[in-house]
Amino acid sequence: MIAIWNYAPPEHAGTARTFTLQFPRTGFRHASISRADPEHGDVHAAYKKMGSPRYPTQAQVEELKKAAELPAAEARDLSSGELKLTLPSYGLALVEVK
């Protein structure tokens, strides 16, 4: 398992970044990618949208739980033992190669 993080200091926008992972002569052909970023599994936007309540209602808590759910892992084939992955600012990806 490999973790890739596109770090940006707090309160700085940062930019998307493309990473190239190379697995020469390993026989790996596939990758499974799990993501957490502002669009996947991050409650911050939902929390701000509801007005950043100090004491969220039960309905708001349920909405935040739903926003925190991670999507299913993405399956990708490696091209010549290589995987290119673009992460937004603050993005984290866990990559499992097979």
Q: Delineate the domains of the chain, giving CATH numbers in brackets.
A: 2-97 (2.60.40.1500)
Low-confidence ranges of the chain (pLDDT < 50): none
pLDDT at residue 13, as a whole number: 84
pLDDT of residue 93: 97
Separation between Cα atoms, residue 38 and residue 44, nearest integer Å? 8
Question: CA 90 to CA 53: how far, in whole Å?
Answer: 23
Residue 39: the pLDDT is 85
pTM greater than 0.85 (yes/no) = no
Q: For residue 85, which of 25, 35, 26, 27 has the smallest C-alpha distance?
A: 35
What is the reported pLDDT for 15?
Answer: 94
User: What is the distance between the alpha carbons of residues 70 and 22, in angstroms, rounded to a whole number?
Assistant: 26
Q: Give residue 80's pLDDT.
A: 87
Question: Rounded to whole angstroms, how far apart are CA atoms 22 and 28?
Answer: 10
